[in-house]
């Protein structure tokens, strides 16, 4: 048996960056990934969806350009070519990860790994017929799609009438009528793509609003915009059954049906931790999630869990940071996770981005806060590039500590701008100091400065 300093199970963002950082820190590292390096994010999540969404944005710009003095005729979108380009982008980035692992001298084993238990000097992991041992172990097994107990759902998945985010990204033909079960981030992004390229989309969500904890006013902007494009939202509705060509749901006590030729299941994700042998180590679990502390340590010394499998905050960039914190802890470098400063984004069109507390969540924690809201129309560049844009920004300030604790926005470039606000939340600098920062003009990002002067 070959002895490693570290074994990482799972080659997604948390896993491959953990392996990279550990190897750079002088640790002999092995990375196990049964499918493809990059995990869900790179192969069937973050990157491929953004590739599709960029094509949809280009298509919308072409078809709605008359207001900007540009006339485009006979604009078409070739969905098969969009998917082909997506595959090329994914292949390029997966190759990049492979190259990085090679340059860092990480041993990559393309087999499923299962923990066998403790051995002298560490832990044993089996892959195929081979056994491997390491002084430390990182579980980075990711997450899986939740399949709720709805009649006909499993049969629909088996027939191909129901797809998850994995399968929908590989379809070469557009459906005419699409039903999306679930109005969370993944469901909204895919609904955004299909609605933008001419598919009639119906989103069925059991909660009274879309996008989970996102600010209700932001959700309204999204619903208004996509309602304009023909998307329908069925909120506070429970899916009852999936038939061979429709979805049955309950709305206000009444049973209804919507016909379609494809269903996208997007009812959430849960940590993937089954079949890994975790029980052989006695790891503390919170249902399917591995319990970790601020250093990503589990209750078993030498075992860490990063990324979706710990259920903390299922975002690729969270996994990246968790990987760094975990490796730093192994190397004796002082570091810890601060989940309250991690930004989140919904890559719809317009984009949604946020970081930190909302006014309501802050008050629920007993904080005294002031909230400032400002339309994106205060940004000259936003007005120049958006016709009748409804975007806005909200800042949340802790009046006792005199610092920014939250920022929420909807509008163009929000995904790129939010990092500025995240740094402000992270550094806890007072607004008086932040007002001295100089933003380039004209930029949409100036909206943060404009809002800061309203505090």
Q: Which residues are 400's β-sheet partners?
A: none
Query: What's the pLDDT at 77?
Result: 97
pLDDT confidence band for 2 (50 / 70 / 90): confident
- pLDDT tens digit sequence for 299-319: 999 999 999 999 999 999 999
| pTM (two decimals) | 0.96
The answer to whether 32 touches 11, Cβ cutoff 8 Å, is yes
Contact 19, 113 (CB under 8 A): no
User: Tokens in use for 286?
Assistant: 């919170």
- What are 259's two structure tokens? 């016909």
Total residue length of the chain:
455
| Tokens read off for 147 | 């399949």
pLDDT, one tens digit per residue, over 103-149 is 999 999 999 999 999 999 899 999 999 999 999 999 999 999 999 99
pLDDT number for residue 445? 98
Q: What is the tens place of the pLDDT at every residue in 358-408?
A: 999 999 999 999 999 999 999 999 999 999 999 999 999 999 999 999 999
Distance of alpha carbon 347 from alpha carbon 449, whole angstroms: 23
Instruction: Express each pLDDT in 220-264 by its tens digit.
Output: 999 999 999 999 999 999 999 999 999 999 999 999 999 999 999
Beta-bridge partners for 251:
237, 254
C-alpha distances out from residue 246 to 170, 186, 292, 455, Å: 22, 21, 42, 50
Q: Please state, in angstroms and rounded to a whole number, the distance separating the CA atoms of residues 144 and 307.
A: 12
Residue 20, pLDDT above cutoff 90: yes
Q: Which residues are catalytic?
A: 441
Peptide bond into 350 cis (omega under 30): yes
Q: How confident is the prediction for the chain on average, in pLDDT? A: 97
Spatial separation of the C-alpha atoms in residues 44 and 366, rounded to whole Å? 40
pLDDT of the residue at 363: 97
pLDDT tens-digit map of 167-180 = 999 999 999 999 99
Q: Are strands 130-139 and 122-127 parallel, antiparallel or unpaired?
A: antiparallel
pLDDT confidence of 1, banded at 50, 70, 90? confident
């Amino acid at each position: 048996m070959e002895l490693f300093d570290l074994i990482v199970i799972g080659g997604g963002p948390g896993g491959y960056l953990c392996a990279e950082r550990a190897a750079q820190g002088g640790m002999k590292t092995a990375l196990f990934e049964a499918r493809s390096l990059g995990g869900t994010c790179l192969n069937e999540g973050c990157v491929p969806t953004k590739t599709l969404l960029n094509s949809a944005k280009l298509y919308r710009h072409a078809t709605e350009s008359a207001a900007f003095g540009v006339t485009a005729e006979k604009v078409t979108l070739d969905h098969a070519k969009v998917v082909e380009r997506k595959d090329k982008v994914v292949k390029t980035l997966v190759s990049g990860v492979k190259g990085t692992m090679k340059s860092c001298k990480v041993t990559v084993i393309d087999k499923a790994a299962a923990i066998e238990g403790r051995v002298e000097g560490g832990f044993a992991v089996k892959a195929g017929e081979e056994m491997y041992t390491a002084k430390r172990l990182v579980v980075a097994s990711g997450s899986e799609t939740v399949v709720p107990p709805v009649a006909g759902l499993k049969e629909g998945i088996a027939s191909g009438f129901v797809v998850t985010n994995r399968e929908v990204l590989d379809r070469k033909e557009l459906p005419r009528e699409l039903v999306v079960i679930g109005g969370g981030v993944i469901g909204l992004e895919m609904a955004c793509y299909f609605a933008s390229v001419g598919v009639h989309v119906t989103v069925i969500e059991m909660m009274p609003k879309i996008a989970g904890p996102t600010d209700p006013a932001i959700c309204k902007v999204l619903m208004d915009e996509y309602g304009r494009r023909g998307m329908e939202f069925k909120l506070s509705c429970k899916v009852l059954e999936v038939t061979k060509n429709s979805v049955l749901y309950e709305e206000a006590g009444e049973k209804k049906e919507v016909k379609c030729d494809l269903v996208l299941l997007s009812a959430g994700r849960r940590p993937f931790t089954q079949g890994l042998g975790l029980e052989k180590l006695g790891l503390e679990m919170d249902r399917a999630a591995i319990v970790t502390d601020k250093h990503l340590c589990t209750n078993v010394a030498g075992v860490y869990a990063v990324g979706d499998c710990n259920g903390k905050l299922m975002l690729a960039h969270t996994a990246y940071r968790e990987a760094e914190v975990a490796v730093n802890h192994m190397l004796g470098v002082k570091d810890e996770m601060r989940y309250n400063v991690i930004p989140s984004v919904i890559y719809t069109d317009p984009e949604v981005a946020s970081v930190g507390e909302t006014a309501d969540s802050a008050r629920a924690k007993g904080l005294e806060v002031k909230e400032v809201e400002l339309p994106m129309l205060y940004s000259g560049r936003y007005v120049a590039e958006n016709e009748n844009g409804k975007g806005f920004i909200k800042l949340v300030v802790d009046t006792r500590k005199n610092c920014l604790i939250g920022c929420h926005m909807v509008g163009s470039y929000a995904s790129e701008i939010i990092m500025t606000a995240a740094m402000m939340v992270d550094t806890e600098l007072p607004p008086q100091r932040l007002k001295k920062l100089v933003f380039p003009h004209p930029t949409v990002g100036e909206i943060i400065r404009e809002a800061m002067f309203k505090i």
